[in-house]
Amino acid sequence: MGVKLNGFDDLNKRLKAMSNKANELNGTHQIELGKLLNESFMQANTDFDSLDDMFEKSPFDIQTSDDFEAIPKGQLDEFISNHSKFSSWNTMLETASKKWFAKQLGF
């Protein structure tokens, strides 16, 4: 007498798809800041509706990526700490990156 388990076929397909996606994501990638810090992430974790909203309401004059790069790290970290759940810009980016990768893998 045998038992048929259909759920394992579906699980196996999902695991193979995740494995394939993980292989695609392996290595170094450049991801747009707006994709990492999307509206959903920003609304759930900061005082802002979007990344653009944060830039507009910040005390920094950010018109270009060079402007952003010129912000002293300590000042940016203080701003992030005061207006988000994170202690620093890097901590916010790391958390957003983990969430982005998890989403790409289907979690």
pLDDT band for position 104 (cuts 50, 70, 90): confident
The pLDDT of residue 9 is: 73
Sort 42 into a burial class: Cβ within 10 Å, 0-12 / 13-18 / 19+: buried
Return the closest-CA partner of residue 93 out of 57, 41, 55, 53.
Answer: 41
Domain boundaries, the chain: 32-104
Structure tokens at 93: 């980016």
Token representation of residue 65: 């990526």
Predicted confidence at residue 93, as pLDDT, reads 96
Residues 22-69 pLDDT 10s:
566 566 768 889 999 999 999 999 999 999 999 999 999 999 999 999
The backbone torsions φ and ψ at residue 46, rounded to the nearest 5 degrees and listed phi first, read: -135, 180
Torsion over CA of 30, 71, 82 and 91, rounded to 10 degrees? 30
Q: Which two tokens stand for residue 62?
A: 């950010």
- For residue 19, the SS3 value is helix
